[in-house]
C-alpha cells in the first residue's frame, strides 16, 4: 500500500503549497516580467492547440518563465470568495495546455486533507444518541432533524426545497436553473457534517432509502423528460468553468485505483464524498437511481444510448458513477461511521 | 487520402520505477491497417506531459519505429523523479506521452499527426519490486482493462500482445503463460509463441458488434502455480456501410389538416431504418448527415410545411446477437397556421438522403398525401337560451357560447361579441375563454337584474375568426327569473371569507348565481384537493383553474386565483396561483392572506351524564 506522495522538493523559492489563483494573478500583475509573459501566453493559447503553441519560440519562452511563477501552480478552494474568477484564471492557462480532450482532467481545487473521522467527531457531539437506539433508527430522518436544529443548515435547506418544488405551469414543474443554484448554495455553504449525513445516510428500509433519494428534490434537480447521452452531458458541463472544475475534482478524488486498498486515491474518502457533493446543482448532478437498500447505484441523468462509435468511452464515463468501487466504499464507510486512518 | 492505420486502443498504461536500467522494454503498442500493403511506423512526441499541465523534454523514453515497443533509453534516477513530480499533487505521479502513427518512415519528428494514442506512465517512487513479491494479477496484466476496438471492413492483423514486456524482461525465472478463452468460431487467433492476438478476418459490425473473451494467465514458480482471469473485450467500430430502408415498405402517409391548424402541429410521420449507428452527440452533425428535404417548386408549400427529423437507437438481431441500429423519424409539421378558408390536396414528397453512404441506394423518397379541409365558422342551428336568477351577483357565470367544433380548434382565433339589443336591459357580457375557443357569459351589471321591466332580453351573438374575418351570428335569449331575496346585513362581498357553513349559506357574494354562496364540504383527511370552503358556485370554484371571469376580480374565487400567502397546511396550484390542496377549511381575505385550518369547533361531546343515560 503506497502512502501519500512526499511533498515535492523543488518548489520555487519562497513558495509553500499552492497559492490561490486570484492571489497568484495579483502577484503576477505586480511584476512586469510575469504580467507580460502571462499576456503573451494567453494570446498563444487562444485558439491554438498545444503543439503549434509549443513550436512558437515566443510562446515557449513565456511558458518557461511562467512555469516558475506562482500562477502556474495555483489552485482554487471550493466555495471560496471569487471562486469563479479563480477558476477562470486557472483554466485560462490549463485549458490550452491540456488540450481539453483528456478523459480525466486534473482538479483545479486544493487537495482535501481532512478525514471522515473529523466529521464523525463533530457529528457525535450533536447526535449524542445511544447505540441501541441508533441501530433501529432512520439515519436519514436523524440527519434531517440535525439539519433543522442548525439555523444555517435549516435556512439553506428549506431554501432549496421550496425553490425546487415551486410549480411554474402545467408544462414546467419548476425552475431547474434556480433549483440548481439553491442546491449549490446549500452544498457550498453548509458544512459537511450536515450535508454528508443527509446525502450518504445508511438505510435498512425503503422509506429511509427513498428519503435519501429525495434529498436533492430529484423531480426538479435531476430527472428530465429525456435522458441525454452522457458524452453530450459531459460536453455541456465542460463548456462551463465551474461545472468542468467540479467534474475534474470528482475524477481526481473518486477515480477507482488498484493502488490503494479502499480503491480511492490516497485512501481519502472525505475528498471523494466532497467532490461528489460538489457536482450537485450542475448539469451533471448525480443521484441514487432507486430506493434500494441492498445495493447503492449512483448515476447522472444520462444514458449511453446513441453513442455510436463512442459507446466504449461513454460507458467508461458512466461507470465512474454506477460501478465505482471508490465511491461505493466511501458512501458505505460514511454510513457505517468507519474511516481509514492515513499512514502518519 | 485519409490515413488508414489506427490504434486498437486509446490508452496504454505502465508503471515506471526508480533506477530501472536503460534498454528495459515497458510496453508494446500495435496498429491495425486499412490495406494489406501498409506498414506501420511509430514515433513519440518529444515532450512528456506532466499532469497539472506541465511538460518536460522527454529524455528517457523511446519507441522502436517498426515494432512499437516503448522502452527506457536512460534510467530514471531519484532526481529525475523529483523533477517530474514537481507540482504534481495527485496521490499518484503520472506522466503522459503521445505515440503517433504513420504509413511511411517519419521525416520530421513533430507532434502533429491526427492518429495518436496516449501512454500513461505511473511513476512509482521506489525501486522495482522483486518478482516474488508481485501477485499473479500484477505479473500478468496491467491495471487497465483489456478492451479494444477494431474497425469493421478492414484487413486482419495483430492487435495485442498479452505478455507484459517489462515483466518478461525482469522476471525471467518465472514461467508465465497465457490462454485466450473464446467461444467456437470467434474471429480471433492467439499465438502461444509470441502471446500475440490476431483478428483473423474482416469484421462486420452489423453482424456482431461486441466480442467478450477471457484472457487466462498461469504463473509457475517451481511447484507453485497461480492463475488469474480477466475479461478481454473487442468492440467493432461502425462505418456507414448500410443504406436506408423502409420498415414494411411503407413510404406513404396521410396528412389531414382540419380543426387543428396551428403552427407546429405534427400532421404525419414516416419512419426510415438504417442498420448503421448514428451518434446523437454531437447532434447537429448527425442531422446533417441524414437529410430530409421537401421536393417542391411551389413556394406556398415550402413556406407552409417543414420536415422535422429525429432519430434514436434501436436494436436489430441479425443472428441471435443484438446490434445497434438507427430509426429515423421524419415528421411533416405545419410551419405556419393555416387559414380556415384554405382548401387543397396534393402529394408532398420528401427525399431522405444518407449522405455518407457510398452506394446507389443512398436515398429513399417519402410521400405525404396532404389534404387541407376548410372549416366553417358557424353556430349549430340552435339559439341559446339561458335563465338567470334575479339574485345573481356580478361575475356570476351563466354559460358558455361556442361555435360548432370550437373545442377541437387549435390555431384558430375566434372572438365572441354581444350585439346589444334595443332597450336598456344589458345585464350580461361576454369574455374570451381559454385559447380563444369559447366565450364565457357572465353578469356584468347586477342592478339590471333587479329591475322589474327587464324580463326577457334578446341579444345577437357574433363569432368572428380573427384571421379570415369570417363571422357568424345567432340569437341569445336571457330570461330573468326568481323573486328578489332580502339582502342580509353584514355580509362580506366575497363568499371566500366565510369560514363556517352557516354564515356561508346565508350570505351572497360576488359571482353567486342565486344570491347565496355555496358550501363545499370536504371529506378528505389531511391536506386534500377536496378541502371545505365557501364558494359562489361549486361548479366553477374551486376547480384548480383561475378562469377569465374569476380573474377579473380577486374577490370572486381567491381559492383558484390568489397569489398571496396561504397560511396553514396547503399545496399551491399551477404557476403558484390558488390553493390546489388544503387542510381542513380554507378561507381567504381577497388581496390578503388565505388560511387553511382544521375547524376546532367540534360537535358537543357526549359527557358522563349522557354516557350513563345510554
SS (H, E, C) B431-449: EECHHHCCEEEEECCHHHH
Q: Enumerate residues 77 to 116 of chain B having a beta carbon within 8 A of any beta carbon in chain A.
A: 82-83, 85-93, 110-112
User: B47 pLDDT band (50/70/90 cuts)?
Assistant: confident
pLDDT of residue B256: 95
Mean pLDDT for B433-446 is 84
B545-602 pLDDT per residue, tens: 888 899 888 889 999 989 888 999 898 888 788 998 898 999 999 888 999 988 765 5
A235-271 pLDDT per residue, tens: 999 989 999 999 999 999 999 987 788 999 888 999 9
Is the predicted pLDDT of residue A323 greater than 70, yes or no? yes
> What phi, psi does B533 have (nearest 5°)?
-165, 165
Q: Does B573 sit within 8 Å of A310, measured CB to CB? A: no
Nearest CB neighbour to B147, from listed A5, A103, A312: A312
Nearest CB neighbour to B82, from listed A8, A72, A111: A8
Cα distance between residue B505 and residue B488, in whole Å: 11
User: A51 pLDDT band (50/70/90 cuts)?
Assistant: low
pLDDT of residue A134: 52
Q: Does B55 sit within 8 Å of A258, measured CB to CB? A: no
pLDDT of residue A130: 47
Cα distance between residue A278 and residue A295, in whole Å: 23
pLDDT of residue A56: 75
Can you tell me whether residue B153 is helix, strand or coil? coil
B180-207 pLDDT per residue, tens: 999 888 999 999 999 999 999 999 999 9
A288-310 pLDDT per residue, tens: 999 988 889 999 999 999 999 99
Give the residue from A71, A97, A308 with the most B CB atoms within 10 Å of its CB, the best one to mutate. A308
Strand order in the sheet with B210-221: B146-151, B224-237, B210-221, B175-181
What percentage of chain A reaches a pLDDT higher than 70? Answer: 85
> What phi, psi does B387 have (nearest 5°)?
-105, 140
pLDDT of residue A123: 59
Q: Enumerate residues 26 to 85 of chain B having a beta carbon within 8 A of any beta carbon in chain A.
A: 45, 47, 49, 51-55, 82-83, 85
Residues of B in contact with A173 (CB under 8 A): none
Whose cell is 485560462? That residue is A92
- Cα Rg of chain A, angstroms: 22
Residues of B in contact with A55 (CB under 8 A): 110
pLDDT of residue A14: 40
Cα distance between residue B73 and residue A186, in whole Å: 53
For the ranges B83-87, B133-137, B283-287, the maximum mean pLDDT occurs at B133-137
Cα distance between residue B158 and residue B194, in whole Å: 11
Is the predicted pLDDT of residue B1 greater than 60, yes or no? no
User: A52 pLDDT band (50/70/90 cuts)?
Assistant: low
- Scanning every residue of chain A, which has its alpha carbon at the shortest distance from the alpha carbon of B122? A259
Is the predicted pLDDT of residue A18 greater than 80, yes or no? no
User: A121 pLDDT band (50/70/90 cuts)?
Assistant: low
Cα distance between residue A180 and residue A165, in whole Å: 12
The residues, any chain, with a CB within 8 Å of residue B36's CB and separated by 6 or more, are B155
Mean pLDDT for B342-354 is 95
3-class SS letters over B465-521: ECCCCCEEEEEEEEEEECCCCCCCCCCCCCHHHCCCHHHHHCCCCCCCCCCCCEEEC
Helix (H) / strand (E) element for A212: namely: helix A206-214
For the ranges A102-106, A318-322, B31-35, the maximum mean pLDDT occurs at A318-322
3-class SS letters over B505-574: HCCCCCCCCCCCCEEECCCCCCEECCCEEEECCCCCCCCCCCCCCHHHCCCCCHHHHCCCCEECCEEECH
Can you tell me whether residue A10 is helix, strand or coil? coil
Q: Does A235 sit within 8 Å of B55, measured CB to CB? A: no
In angstroms, the separation between the Cα of residue B30 and the nearest Cα of chain A is 19
In angstroms, the separation between the Cα of residue B574 and the nearest Cα of chain A is 5
The residues, any chain, with a CB within 8 Å of residue A57's CB and separated by 6 or more, are none
> What phi, psi does B317 have (nearest 5°)?
-125, 85
Can you tell me whether residue B53 is helix, strand or coil? coil
- Scanning every residue of chain B, which has its alpha carbon at the shortest distance from the alpha carbon of A106? B52
Selection from B463, B466, B385 nearest residue B428 by Cα: B385
- Scanning every residue of chain A, which has its alpha carbon at the shortest distance from the alpha carbon of B126? A2
- Scanning every residue of chain A, which has its alpha carbon at the shortest distance from the alpha carbon of B574? A169
pLDDT of residue A1: 39
Q: How many CB atoms lie within 10 A of CB A146?
A: 18
In angstroms, the separation between the Cα of residue A97 and the nearest Cα of chain B is 6
Is the predicted pLDDT of residue A328 greater than 60, yes or no? yes
Is the predicted pLDDT of residue A171 greater than 90, yes or no? no
Per-position b or e across B136-157, b if 16+ CB within 10 A of its CB: bbbbbbbeebbbbbbbbebebb
Per this entry, what is the length of chain B?
Answer: 614
Selection from B278, B280, B284 nearest residue B244 by Cα: B278
Nearest CB neighbour to B91, from listed A5, A18, A169: A5
Q: How many CB atoms lie within 10 A of CB B64?
A: 14
Residues of A in contact with B125 (CB under 8 A): 2, 5-6
Q: Does A51 sit within 8 Å of B143, measured CB to CB? A: no
| Alpha-helix residue ranges (DSSP H) falling in B207-352 | 283-289, 299-304
Mean pLDDT for A75-87 is 91
Nearest CB neighbour to B86, from listed A8, A252, A311: A8
Nearest CB neighbour to B278, from listed A2, A258, A308: A308
Is the predicted pLDDT of residue A45 greater than 90, yes or no? no
| B313 at A interface, C-beta within 8 A | yes
pLDDT of residue A74: 87
Residues of B in contact with A169 (CB under 8 A): 574-575
Is the predicted pLDDT of residue B106 greater than 90, yes or no? no
Between A46-60, A65-79, A191-205, the lowest mean confidence (pLDDT) is in: A46-60
User: Is B139:B131 a contact under the CB 8 Å cutoff?
Assistant: yes
Between A245-259, B112-126, B471-485, the lowest mean confidence (pLDDT) is in: B112-126
User: Is A324:A343 a contact under the CB 8 Å cutoff?
Assistant: no
pLDDT of residue B243: 94
Between A313-322, B427-436, B579-588, the lowest mean confidence (pLDDT) is in: B427-436
Cα distance between residue B379 and residue B356, in whole Å: 56
- Scanning every residue of chain A, which has its alpha carbon at the shortest distance from the alpha carbon of B236? A309
Bigger pLDDT: B436 or B254? B254
Is the predicted pLDDT of residue B265 greater than 80, yes or no? yes
What percentage of chain B reaches a pLDDT higher than 70? Answer: 93
DSSP A110: P
pLDDT of residue B54: 66
What average pLDDT does the structure give for chain A?
Answer: 83
Mean pLDDT for B300-317 is 94
User: Is A76:A20 a contact under the CB 8 Å cutoff?
Assistant: yes
Is the predicted pLDDT of residue A344 greater than 50, yes or no? no
Cα distance between residue B190 and residue A198, in whole Å: 52
What percentage of chain A reaches a pLDDT higher than 90? Answer: 45
> What phi, psi does B174 have (nearest 5°)?
-95, 145
pLDDT of residue A11: 38
B468 upstream amide cis, omega within 30 of 0: no
- Scanning every residue of chain A, which has its alpha carbon at the shortest distance from the alpha carbon of B57? A54
Mean pLDDT for B484-491 is 80
Is the predicted pLDDT of residue B90 greater than 60, yes or no? no
The CA–CA distances, whole Å, from B103 to A51, B11, B115, B152 equal 21, 20, 11, 20
CA A187: distance to chain centroid?
10
User: A13 pLDDT band (50/70/90 cuts)?
Assistant: very low
DSSP A259: T
User: B113 pLDDT band (50/70/90 cuts)?
Assistant: low
pLDDT of residue B347: 96
Helix (H) / strand (E) element for A161: namely: helix A151-164
pTM of the model: 0.84
Beta-strand (E) ranges in B222-320?
224-237, 252-257, 266-274, 290-295, 305-319
Per this entry, what is the length of chain A?
Answer: 344
Is the predicted pLDDT of residue B2 greater than 80, yes or no? no
Is the predicted pLDDT of residue B529 greater than 70, yes or no? yes
Whose cell is 350585439? That residue is B419
Selection from B478, B505, B481, B503 nearest residue B490 by Cα: B503
Q: Does B575 sit within 8 Å of A168, measured CB to CB? A: yes
B303 burial class (0-12, 13-18, 19+ CB within 10 angstroms)? exposed
B234-254 pLDDT per residue, tens: 999 999 999 999 998 899 999
A194-222 pLDDT per residue, tens: 999 999 998 888 889 999 999 999 999 99
pLDDT of residue B108: 67
The residues, any chain, with a CB within 8 Å of residue A125's CB and separated by 6 or more, are none
pLDDT of residue B587: 93
pLDDT of residue A10: 37
Residues of B in contact with A305 (CB under 8 A): 280, 312-313
Amino acid at each position: 500500500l503506497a502512502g501519500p506522495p512526499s511533498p515535492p522538493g523543488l518548489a520555487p523559492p519562497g513558495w509553500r503549497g499552492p497559492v490561490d489563483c486570484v492571489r497568484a494573478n495579483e502577484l503576477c500583475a505586480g511584476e512586469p516580467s510575469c504580467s507580460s509573459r502571462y499576456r503573451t501566453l494567453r494570446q498563444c493559447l487562444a485558439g491554438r492547440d498545444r503543439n503549434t503553441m509549443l513550436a512558437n519560440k515566443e510562446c515557449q519562452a513565456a511558458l518557461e518563465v511562467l512555469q516558475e511563477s506562482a500562477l502556474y501552480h495555483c489552485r482554487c478552494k471550493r466555495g471560496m470568495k471569487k471562486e469563479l474568477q479563480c477558476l477562470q484564471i486557472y483554466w485560462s492557462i490549463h485549458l490550452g495546455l491540456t488540450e481539453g480532450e483528456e478523459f480525466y482532467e486534473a482538479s483545479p481545487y486544493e487537495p482535501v486533507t481532512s478525514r471522515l473521522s473529523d466529521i464523525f467527531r463533530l457529528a457525535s457531539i450533536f447526535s449524542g444518541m445511544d447505540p441501541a437506539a441508533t441501530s433501529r433508527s432512520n439515519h436519514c430522518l436523524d440527519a434531517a432533524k440535525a439539519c433543522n436544529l442548525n439555523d444555517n443548515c435549516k435556512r439553506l435547506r428549506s431554501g432549496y426545497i421550496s425553490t425546487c418544488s415551486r410549480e411554474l405551469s402545467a408544462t414546467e414543474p419548476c425552475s431547474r436553473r434556480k433549483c440548481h443554484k439553491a442546491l449549490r448554495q446549500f452544498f457550498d455553504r453548509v458544512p459537511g457534517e450536515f450535508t454528508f449525513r443527509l446525502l450518504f445516510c445508511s438505510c435498512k428500509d425503503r422509506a429511509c432509502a427513498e428519503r435519501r433519494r429525495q434529498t436533492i428534490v430529484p423531480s426538479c434537480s435531476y430527472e428530465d423528460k429525456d435522458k441525454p447521452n452522457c458524452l453530450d452531458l459531459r460536453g455541456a458541463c465542460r463548456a462551463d468553468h465551474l461545472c468542468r472544475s467540479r467534474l475534474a475534482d470528482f475524477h481526481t478524488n473518486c477515480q477507482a485505483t488498484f493502488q490503494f486498498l479502499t480503491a480511492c486515491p490516497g485512501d481519502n474518502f472525505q475528498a471523494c464524498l466532497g467532490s461528489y457533493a460538489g457536482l450537485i446543482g450542475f448539469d451533471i448532478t448525480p443521484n441514487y437511481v432507486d430506493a434500494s437498500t441492498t445495493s447503492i447505484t449512483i448515476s447522472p441523468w444520462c444514458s449511453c444510448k446513441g453513442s455510436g462509435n463512442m459507446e466504449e468511452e461513454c460507458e467508461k464515463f458512466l461507470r465512474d458513477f454506477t460501478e465505482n468501487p471508490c465511491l461505493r466504499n466511501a458512501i458505505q464507510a460514511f454510513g457505517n461511521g468507519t474511516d481509514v486512518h492515513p499512514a502518519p | 487520402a485519409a490515413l488508414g492505420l489506427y490504434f486498437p486502443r486509446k490508452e496504454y498504461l505502465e508503471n515506471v520505477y526508480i533506477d530501472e536500467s536503460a534498454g528495459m522494454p515497458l510496453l508494446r503498442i500495435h496498429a491495425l491497417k486499412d490495406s494489406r500493403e501498409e506498414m506501420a511506423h511509430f514515433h513519440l512526441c518529444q515532450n512528456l506531459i506532466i499532469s497539472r499541465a506541465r511538460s518536460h523534454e522527454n529524455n528517457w523514453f523511446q519507441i522502436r519505429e517498426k515494432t512499437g515497443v516503448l522502452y527506457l533509453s536512460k534510467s530514471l534516477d531519484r532526481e529525475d523523479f523529483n523533477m517530474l513530480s514537481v507540482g504534481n499533487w495527485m496521490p499518484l505521479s503520472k506522466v503522459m506521452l503521445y505515440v503517433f502513427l504513420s504509413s511511411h518512415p517519419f521525416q520530421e519528428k513533430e507532434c502533429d499527426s491526427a492518429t495518436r494514442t496516449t501512454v500513461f506512465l505511473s511513476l512509482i517512487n521506489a525501486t522495482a519490486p522483486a518478482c516474488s513479491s508481485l501477485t499473479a494479477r500484477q505479473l500478468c496484466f496491467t491495471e487497465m482493462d483489456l478492451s479494444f476496438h477494431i474497425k469493421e471492413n478492414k484487413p486482419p492483423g495483430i492487435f495485442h500482445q498479452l505478455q507484459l514486456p517489462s515483466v518478461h524482461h525482469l522476471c525471467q525465472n518465472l514461467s508465465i503463460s497465457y490462454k485466450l478463452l473464446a467461444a467456437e468460431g470467434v474471429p480471433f487467433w492467439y499465438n502461444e509463441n509470441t502471446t500475440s492476438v490476431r483478428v483473423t478476418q474482416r469484421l462486420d459490425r452489423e453482424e456482431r458488434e461486441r466480442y467478450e473473451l477471457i484472457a487466462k494467465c498461469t504463473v509457475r514458480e517451481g511447484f507453485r502455480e497461480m492463475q488469474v482471469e480477466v475479461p478481454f473485450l473487442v468492440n467493432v467500430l461502425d462505418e456507414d456501410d448500410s443504406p436506408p430502408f423502409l420498415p414494411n415498405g411503407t413510404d406513404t402517409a396521410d396528412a389531414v389538416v382540419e380543426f387543428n391548424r396551428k403552427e407546429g402541429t405534427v400532421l404525419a410521420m414516416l419512419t426510415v431504418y438504417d442498420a448503421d449507428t448514428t451518434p446523437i452527440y454531437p447532434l447537429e452533425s448527425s442531422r446533417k448527415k441524414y437529410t430530409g428535404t421537401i421536393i417542391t417548386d411551389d413556394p406556398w408549400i415550402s413556406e407552409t410545411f417543414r420536415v422535422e427529423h429525429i432519430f434514436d437507437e434501436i436494436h436489430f438481431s441479425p443472428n441471435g446477437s443484438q446490434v445497434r441500429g438507427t430509426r429515423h423519424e421524419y415528421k411533416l409539421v405545419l410551419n405556419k397556421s393555416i387559414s380556415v378558408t384554405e382548401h387543397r390536396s396534393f402529394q408532398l414528397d420528401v427525399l431522405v438522403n444518407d449522405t455518407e453512404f457510398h452506394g446507389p441506394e443512398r436515398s429513399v423518397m417519402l410521400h405525404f398525401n396532404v389534404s387541407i379541409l376548410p372549416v366553417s365558422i358557424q353556430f349549430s342551428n340552435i339559439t341559446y337560451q339561458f335563465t338567470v336568477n334575479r339574485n345573481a351577483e356580478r361575475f356570476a357565470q351563466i354559460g358558455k357560447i361556442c361555435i360548432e367544433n370550437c373545442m377541437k380548434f387549435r390555431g384558430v382565433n375566434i372572438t365572441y361579441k354581444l350585439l346589444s339589443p334595443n332597450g336598456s336591459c344589458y345585464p350580461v357580457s361576454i369574455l374570451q375563454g381559454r385559447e380563444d375557443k369559447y366565450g364565457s357569459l357572465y353578469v356584468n351589471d347586477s342592478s339590471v337584474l333587479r329591475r322589474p321591466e327587464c324580463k326577457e332580453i334578446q341579444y345577437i351573438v357574433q363569432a368572428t375568426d380573427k384571421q379570415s374575418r369570417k363571422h357568424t351570428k345567432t340569437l341569445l335569449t336571457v330570461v330573468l327569473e326568481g323573486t328578489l331575496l332580502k339582502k342580509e346585513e353584514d355580509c362580506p362581498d366575497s363568499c371566500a371569507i366565510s369560514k363556517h357553513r352557516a354564515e356561508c349559506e346565508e350570505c351572497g357574494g360576488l359571482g353567486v348565481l342565486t344570491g347565496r354562496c355555496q358550501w363545499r364540504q370536504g371529506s378528505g383527511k389531511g391536506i386534500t384537493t377536496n378541502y371545505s370552503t365557501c364558494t359562489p358556485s361549486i361548479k366553477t370554484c374551486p376547480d384548480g383553474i383561475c378562469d377569465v371571469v374569476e380573474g377579473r376580480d380577486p374577490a370572486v374565487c381567491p381559492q383558484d386565483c390568489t397569489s398571496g400567502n396561504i397560511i396553514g397546511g396547503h399545496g399551491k396550484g399551477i404557476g403558484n396561483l390558488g390553493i390546489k390542496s388544503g387542510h381542513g377549511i380554507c378561507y381567504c381575505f381577497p388581496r390578503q392572506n388565505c388560511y387553511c385550518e382544521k375547524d376546532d369547533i367540534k360537535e358537543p361531546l357526549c359527557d358522563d351524564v349522557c354516557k350513563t343515560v345510554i
